[in-house]
Chains A and B, each alone.
Chain A
Amino acid sequence: MSTADITAEHHDDHHDHGPAKGLSRWFFTTNHKDIGSMYLWFSLAMFLVGGSMALVIRAELFQPGLQLVEPGFFNQMTTMHGLIMVFGAVMPAFVGLANWMVPMMIGAPDMALPRMNNWSFWILPFAFGMLLLTLFMDGGAPNFGWTFYAPLSTTYAPDSVTFFIFAVHMMGVSSIMGAINIVATILNMRAPGMTLMKMPLFVWTWLITAYLLIAVMPVLAGVVTMMLMDIHFGTSFFDAAGGGDPVLFQHVFWFFGHPEVYIMILPAFGIVSAIIPTFARKQLFGYASMVYATASIAFLSFIVWAHHMFTVGMPLAGELFFMFATMLIAVPTGVKVFNWIATMWRGSMTFETPMLFALAFVILFTIGGLSGLMLAIAPADFQYHDTYFVVAHFHYVLVPGAIFSIMAAVYYWLPKWTGHQLNEGAGKFHFWMSFIGVNITFFPMHFIGLAGMPRRIPDYALQFADFNAIASVGAFIFGLSQLIFVWNVIQNIRSGKKAEAKCWEGAEGLEWSVPSPAPYHTFTTPPQIEGAK
């Protein structure tokens, strides 16, 4: 839709046709911009659905006692909220951004495999449609947490688990195809002269993310397949009775799960590394070290998985190894934060909406990173593990981390997509409401976690009541303020002042060399690359 009104004004459109008319445009499109838009719309829809579930959770937790929902349904809400936000909101949003921006950033006419691109998107609505429909099944939707530990998710699962498994398979296929496409595009479709070390950092982080996806999504597919076999075909991968081991499930799951966490944050690093230099009007500091830091984080993500499992009773040597390896991640992550600050240092900063989100990202993600460092200390983790402290930690890295970076990206590139300048007033209003809401929601969770409130409980002891009430208020502020975002984006598509090709003064990169809105086909002839990153 964002590109629907641009058919009339092709600039470098010498020989090609515009988008098809009507619905078939969206069903059959192979255009990276169309597919990118669909990914982003889909992600927004899932963000709102998953967010509503979060609000159900927070409403129930507003006061002690059971008021709105039963514990069984509460568990379905926490599970579905996690699954939808991880697989339905954050990942598709990054894939959507990659679809839109990667070809434009490397001077490619489209993705390397456009038809597969269409397919990988259209799998998603079916996967999530199936997942959401389980809410109406007898026995209810999956209720075993987004980490679905066996045997709660096998022997003791509701019938809907089979549909959950198929949904995960479909999401996995979609992600893997998306990742293959991105790797192929980045490695084979760059304009002449666009060497690897000249690529924008967003492209770099996505290249590494895509490799992570290819490495771990099959493992996720493997683990759910094993579950399926345990449930329906009498195998005993995770059933102790037949010689299996429920702890094995956790090892395999987290072998996928930890890199998955970085899949959700590496592209965010890329986005922030694009936005901060633009609004600091200064080149990114330490480009090469940023690339190496990203690569080392990706590597380390494969050898730290068991820090999610410090309490399962690993031998001492295992605990020590995973503790040290996890602490090590702080080093490359620190390098990134220092580089961003050094980029800002002695720059000439302005604070438009994308910059505000990017700066909030740096601050709040760092807070999440520091609480992550605390969690890495295994003896202390025995007290933190599975409490609200963990909930606070991963929401700090995922909401003001991944989600804020996506919003920053949308605000940053929206003029390029729609051809209209941002409504800065609405954007800043959205930012401040989100910033305040997020902190009111998640900061108190540190305290209730330390004071001893376990996660995934529908009701709690009285000493946790005050902070829970505050967190719930914050959640509604944050949730409702996203409506400003939706309104702002729709308004921007419909109307607004004409945006220039390079609508941000300090912006660098090939995407700013094409007009705004970007024509339906860009770089059908490869651009000339100077020394630009």
Chain B
Amino acid sequence: METRKNILRGSLFGALTMPSAAFAEWGLNMPVGVTEISRSVFSLHMTIFWVCVAIAVVVFGVMFYSMFHHRKSRGAKSAHFHENTTVEVIWTIIPVAILVAMAVPSAATLIEMYDPSDAEIDVQITGYQWKWKYDYLDEEVSFFSNLSTSRDAIYNAEQKGENYLLEVDKHLVLPVDTKIRFLLTANDVIHSWWVPDLAVKKDAIPGFINESWTIIEKPGIYRGQCTELCGKDHGYMPVVVEAVSKEDYAAWVATIKAEAAAKADLAGKTWTLDELMTEGEQVYLKACAACHMPNGEGLPGAFPALKNSPIAVGDVAAHIDIVVNGKPGTAMQAYKDQLSAVEMAAVITYERNAWGNNTGEAVTPNQIADMSWDMDRLMTVGEEVYGKACAACHQPNGQGIPGAFPGLVGTDIVMGDIGAHIDIVVNGKAGSAMQAFKDQLSPEEIAAVVTYERNAWGNNVGDSVKPSTVASWNGGEK
């Protein structure tokens, strides 16, 4: 099989493809790519290219010879022939022969491309206006991949980076030497997913599923773009594939799954007091007991007691604050980067109920998460999220595009009921271009962007949204 193909390719015009390597280095030519298919395609491309060059040289050679020698100014007298069946037959048959010779290897490569069997990993790729969503179907992992080039770079307000317009926030990570099947579809209009180095280009069509496959041979980062006009920001939805070794891929999957699980814990699970106490005791022994002692009595003179302390039985917000942010000038560290929200919620709950503190209060992970989201942070992050997810339609200044996308300055949605505002961002608006962002943005991001919209551009409503509100949003009222 292998040899047959190689003979087909090699014997025909093998010699002609020799100078190809030099060509590729100039960055003028199609990339050779990192898959067997991409190399076949490249060799087909170079073959047909040199065939065309050869035809052009012969045809134009004759033409220029004639233009030079058969001109009136050189005294040429015109001949009278105007028909010759023999030459007409010859120049019909020669092209046919060349075409047949080209058709054979082309068909062979095409047949190879159409063999989807034995794929080990299925990735579903969904095109959205104007981003890609990747679902690793066997792993239950999915995420959106957005352009990460800043608007300032696009509008020439800052230096353009090396991968200007070809960089995304989350790469499509794939293992090398593994047959990967891409299942393509779209959410709204037709998109087309293209990575030149893989020689994979396939349309993503709403309501239909297409497939393609690849086996990447070399680790690396391969960049491509959407190639089917899909609306305003068609030029701003790049594809970035990161090929890694099989081990790294397994590790990456484990990490991303753990992250997803942690998020799910935070948002989804309802913690009972008992669960928090059990978990909290573990955390306490691990992180706190060294100073505050397992019995919560501390070391007098060095570390304060927690048993009956004003912190542990007093205002819960102050308690959360000291655990999350520490207490400057003391040995009390900030735990926000050391413990997860669940762990902090558990340990605070534990401290408030152990050793006879018995406040009966349970602190939820969401409360911890909300703690770190004050107005400033919501606004800062909100502006970033807005730039990434909203500004394309509603414009950076919130003015929208008349006739196409509504403005957000001083309008009912952003100035009125906050619930309705959250709802439209979370669930979208049927029959309009407004998408549901619940699967695209995290609760934190949605809270931030809603807060931002309500307070930017002179809207100054003054209220803010906590991530926990968004996380528990159930769409409820219309």
Contacts and interface: CB of A to CB of B under 8 A. Distances in A.
Interface of A: 64-67, 71-72, 75, 137-140, 143-145, 149, 151-152, 155-156, 158-159, 240-241, 245-247, 280-289, 311-313, 316, 319-320, 323-324, 327-328, 330-331, 334-335, 337-338, 341-351, 359, 362-363, 366-367, 370-371, 373-374, 377-380, 382-383, 385-387, 447, 450-452, 454-463, 506
A462 B164 CA distance: 6
A141 to B, nearest CB: 11
Contact of B45 (A67, A341, A380): A380
B218 to A, nearest CB: 18
Interface string B134-166: 000000000000000000011110001011111
Given A246-B190, A350-B72, A370-B55, 7 more contacts: A72-B404, A323-B110, A378-B106, A379-B41, A382-B201, A383-B196, A463-B27
Contact of A152 (B45, B73, B155, B229): B229
B206 A377 contact: no
A506 B80 CA distance: 13
A240 B190 CA distance: 12
Interface stretch (B28-36, B380-388, B444-452): B28-36
Contact of A454 (B73, B87, B164, B225): B225
B162 A462 contact: yes
Interface of chain B, main secondary structure: mixed
B59 A289 contact: no
Given A152-B230, A385-B227, A454-B227, A350 B73 contact: yes
B9 to A, nearest CB: 12
A380 B102 CA distance: 12
B235 interface: yes
Contacts of A327: 99, 102-103
A461 B27 CA distance: 13
24 contacts: A64-B164, A71-B233, A145-B229, A152-B230, A152-B231, A155-B189, A159-B403, A246-B207, A286-B84, A334-B95, A341-B66, A345-B66, A346-B70, A349-B71, A366-B60, A370-B56, A377-B106, A380-B44, A450-B29, A454-B226, A455-B229, A459-B154, A461-B223, A463-B27
A452 B99 CA distance: 26
Contacts, number: 288
B109 interface: yes
A140 B403 contact: yes
Contact of A382 (B103, B200, B205): B200
Contacts of A159: 403
Contact of A348 (B71, B102, B203): B71
Contact of A450 (B30, B88, B155, B236): B30
Contact of B79 (A151, A346, A350, A386): A346
Contacts of A312: 203, 205, 210
Interface string B37-64: 1001100110011001001100110110
A287 B52 contact: no
Contacts of B30: 383, 450-451
Contacts of A387: 227
Interface in B78-119: 78-84, 87-88, 91-92, 95-96, 99, 102-103, 106-107, 109-111, 113-114
Chain B interface: which size bin? Answer: 35 or more
B422 to A, nearest CB: 26
B300 interface: no
B41 A282 contact: no
A451 B80 contact: no
A311 B201 contact: yes
B232 interface: yes
A451 B28 contact: yes
Contact of A156 (B78, B160, B163, B433): B433
A327 B95 CA distance: 10
A281 to B, nearest CB: 4
Interface in B170-219: 188-190, 192, 194, 196, 199-203, 205-208, 210-211
Contact of A311 (B41, B153, B192, B231): B192
Which 8 residue pairs of A and B lie closest in terms of their CB atoms, listed nearest first?
A240-B207, A138-B403, A457-B235, A139-B403, A313-B210, A370-B52, A346-B79, A386-B227
B205 A348 contact: no
Contact of A65 (B155, B203, B234, B404): B155
Nearest to B112: A379
B76 A283 contact: no
Nearest to B166: A461
B67 interface: yes
Contacts of B403: 137-140, 158-159
B196 A282 contact: no
Contacts of A386: 192, 201, 227-228
A139 B232 CA distance: 12
A366 B99 CA distance: 16
Contacts of B163: 461
Given A313-B210, A327-B99, A377 B160 contact: no
A461 B95 CA distance: 39
Contacts of B155: 65-66
Contact of A241 (B48, B60, B154, B207): B207
Contact of B203 (A67, A313, A347, A450): A313
A64 B160 contact: yes
Nearest to A79: B229
B196 A452 contact: yes
B49 A374 contact: yes
Given A72-B404, A327-B102, A348-B71, A382 B433 contact: no
A456 B226 CA distance: 11
B102 to A, nearest CB: 7
B402 interface: yes
Given A156-B433, A341-B66, A377 B44 contact: yes
Contacts of A348: 70-72, 76-78
B404 A338 contact: no
B401 interface: yes
B224 interface: yes
Contacts of B45: 374, 377, 380, 383
Contacts of A280: 70, 78
Contacts of B41: 379-380, 382-383
A244 to B, nearest CB: 9
Given A283-B80, A379-B41, A382-B41, A247 B88 contact: no
B28 A447 contact: yes
B37 to A, nearest CB: 8
A199 B28 CA distance: 46
A59 to B, nearest CB: 15
Nearest to B230: A152
Contacts of A75: 229, 231-232, 234
A452 B190 contact: no
A338 B63 CA distance: 9
Contacts of B208: 240, 245-247, 313
Contacts of B27: 451, 463
Nearest to A67: B156
B194 A454 contact: yes
A328 B401 CA distance: 48
Contact of B88 (A289, A337, A362, A378): A289
A86 B196 CA distance: 30
A246 B150 CA distance: 33
A338 B91 CA distance: 8
Nearest to B402: A138
B95 A378 contact: no
Contact of B205 (A143, A313, A328, A377): A313
A282 to B, nearest CB: 4
A403 to B, nearest CB: 21
Contact of A462 (B48, B82, B160): B160
Contacts of A71: 232-236
B82 A284 contact: yes
A20 B107 CA distance: 63
Contacts of A289: 88
Interface string B110-133: 110110000000000000010000
